[in-house]
Each structure stands twice: as C-alpha cells, then as structure tokens.
Structure 1
Amino acid sequence: MEQKKENILISKEQIDTRVAELGKLISEDYKNKNLYVLSLLRGSFIFTADLVRNITVPTKIGFMTTSSYGHGEISTGVVKIVNDIPDDIKGLDVLIVDDIVDTGITMDFVVNHVKELGAASVNCCVLLDKPERRKVDIKPNYCCFEIPDVFVVGYGLNYGDYYRNVPYVFNWEEN
C-alpha cells in the first residue's frame, strides 16, 4: 500500500447526493407497497444504512450473507448462503441492496432465491455497477454509479478486510 497513491473515483459528497436521490425515487416507486430491504452483507451495510435513512415509506430491513469468493479475489462462480434471510418474505416487495454488481452471479442467485421464497416483487439496488464484467444477464433496477473495470475500495467495499470505513470510493495508482 505504501507505494500506491489513492485515486478517488467517487467523493463522499457525490455519494451522499446520489443516495438521497435514490431514496426519494425508491420512496415514490414503493408508495403503497410492502417494502422489505434485503441488505447483502458485508459490503452493502454502509450503503444500506444511508439508503434506508433516505426512504420515507414504511420499510422492513433484513440481512443475508452469501459467499462466492472464498479467501481469494476472484469469484469461484458458486454462490453459497452463509446466513439466510431471517424473515418470512412471502408477499413482500423485496429490494435487494448490494455494494457492487460485476459478474452478476451473486445478484442473479439472490434474486432467484428471493423469488422462490414467494416475494410479491423483486428488484435490486446497487451502489456500483461494473457492466464490463457481467457474466449473467442482469441489470440493477436502481444504481448510484456505473464504473469501469477497476478494483475499488471504500464506502463498504474492502481490501483484505480493511477500508470499508472510508467515506468515498477509490482505487490505487502506482507511484
């Protein structure tokens, strides 16, 4: 890390503005619905917290943990449920919230899982969309920012279990 320089891709102010806009849009879209926000841990917890504070309709919140990376940086392509949805979501309008969609494999898996559990509707919302890496046909219904194929950290995204607490999204440049 010492030989690398931070390159801020998305500032805290840009994130705050876009999350507020999405919260307003989601509130309008889910008016008179039974909104259940399903946050995919661990990466989305900061984004989810900020997002739900900007949603003005009654909202239930649950958490799910999946894994497709094991201990590496490259997805195995096999999604495993580490901690399943703690609530009965049958008949609810589920909004799956994640930090990033790149290959789409995890989001596609979770969308299908939620449908199998009887949700009335299923949509997904992400902080970041990296469409260049897509391996399955899935597009987020709500997205804060589309980014190029670069490795990013901050605002919930980690590197070696660190940097989730950084309030902006960045990558490193070689010095």
Structure 2
Amino acid sequence: MEIQGKTARLYMKKDVLMSRVSEMSEMLKSEYKDKDPVFLIILNGAFMFASDLLKGLDFDCEISFTKVASYENTESTGEIKSLIGVNEQLAGRDVVIVEDIVDTGNTMKWLLDELNRINVKSIATCVLLMKPEVFNNQFEIDFLGFEIPNDFVVGYGMDFNGYGRNLQDIYQLD
C-alpha cells in the first residue's frame, strides 16, 4: 500500500487494537466509575481510539476535545501549538487525557503543565502507542496500549500529512 508516495506496511491489525482497547476500557471503568471524569481527547489523531475506548464505558462522564500539534511531515517540530481550547470547566475535576501516540512526550508534558495551572483534581494519561526510545520526559503514562519502536505509523486516526487516518489497521511508513 502507498500513502502519499510512501510505502505503508501493515504494522498492527484491527483485532489486536480492539482487544487492547477493550482491556483499557475495563481499566478505566474500574478506576473512574464513581468519579464523573472529563475525558480530554487530543485531536485529530486520537479520535478513532477515543471513540472505541469510550464506547466501553457505562458511567457518567464528560467528553471534551482539544487540538495540539507539533508535527510537520514525519518529524516533530518541537514547537507546540494549542489550536483549539477547552470549553468545559476543568478546575476541581478528574481529567483523563486520551492521546493516540507519545514519542518525545513534549506535547503531553505541555498539556499536563497547562492542566496543572488550572487546578484540576487529578490528571491521568491514556495513550494507545508510546515510543520509549525517544521519550525524554518525566511523567508516567497511566493507561498504555502498546510500546512501539521509533517508527512512523499511520492509520486508526493517525496520519501522514492528513492522509491515512481512515485506515482500520496501523501501518508503518518507510
């Protein structure tokens, strides 16, 4: 398969993803069923993961969205830009950040710092994919789907210059 002129090789099939996402939903249920959390979904990449993850929750919760970007092409720019703000009142609330992928961790660290400034009650991170070999921050990922090598991946919401988000499996770009 090709995406925008780059070879895309199958990396992780939908059934593997769905199995792990279901397990993560169960963990979130156990932790948050009595807490009325706000799930803060990081757009655009986490939308498919968040949709599948949150369908498994059967308790009161709010869902909000924010957009934070630090990528151009296949490289992190290192410059973080908050593009869409959060409208919900988060002070004093339990917030769960739902993110598709963490590599260096700079974007997540920036968001954690922003949330701490507004005095949320608690913050947890729920991440589908993490690249430990390039992670360079000092925070824990509370709910993690998979650790992966430092490969550029697309599909299941993740993109290459806007393409590939619609794919149900995850692919590695060469």
TM-score (norm 1): 0.91
Pair 1:83 & 2:84 matched = yes
What does 1:1-150 align with in structure 2 at a 5 Å threshold? 1=2, 6-69=8-71, 71-150=72-151
- C-alpha separation in 1, matches of 2:154 and 2:6: 13
Pairwise CA distance, 1:78:
2.5
SS at 2:56's partner residue? coil
- C-alpha separation in 1, matches of 2:165 and 2:149: 20
Contact 1:6 1:172 in 2 (8 A): yes
- C-alpha separation in 2, matches of 1:159 and 1:87: 30
List gaps (5 residues or longer) in structure 2: none
Contact 1:38 1:97 in 2 (8 A): yes
Pairwise CA distance, 1:4:
6.0
Contact 2:13 2:170 in 1 (8 A): yes
SS at 2:42's partner residue? strand
- C-alpha separation in 1, matches of 2:33 and 2:110: 27
CA RMSD of aligned residues (A): 1.7
Pairwise CA distance, 1:72:
4.3
List gaps (5 residues or longer) in structure 1: none
1:20-60 superposed Cα distances (whole Å, 9 cap, x missing partner): 11001101011211211000110001111111101222110
Pairwise CA distance, 1:140:
1.2
Output the amino acid matched with 2:157.
G
Matched residue, 1:160: 161
Q: 1:6 to 1:74 in 2, by over 3 A?
A: closer
1:80-135 superposed Cα distances (whole Å, 9 cap, x missing partner): 21111111111111000011000000001111111212210001011101111112
Q: 1:65 to 1:172 in 2, by over 3 A?
A: closer
SS at 1:133's partner residue? coil
TM-score (norm 2): 0.92
Pairwise CA distance, 1:5:
5.1
Contact 1:8 1:169 in 2 (8 A): yes
Q: How many residues align?
A: 172
Identity of aligned residues (%): 33
Output the amino acid matched with 1:90.
A
- C-alpha separation in 2, matches of 1:160 and 1:72: 6
- C-alpha separation in 2, matches of 1:82 and 1:8: 31
Contact 2:74 2:152 in 1 (8 A): no
SS at 1:106's partner residue? helix
- C-alpha separation in 2, matches of 1:80 and 1:5: 29
SS at 2:78's partner residue? coil
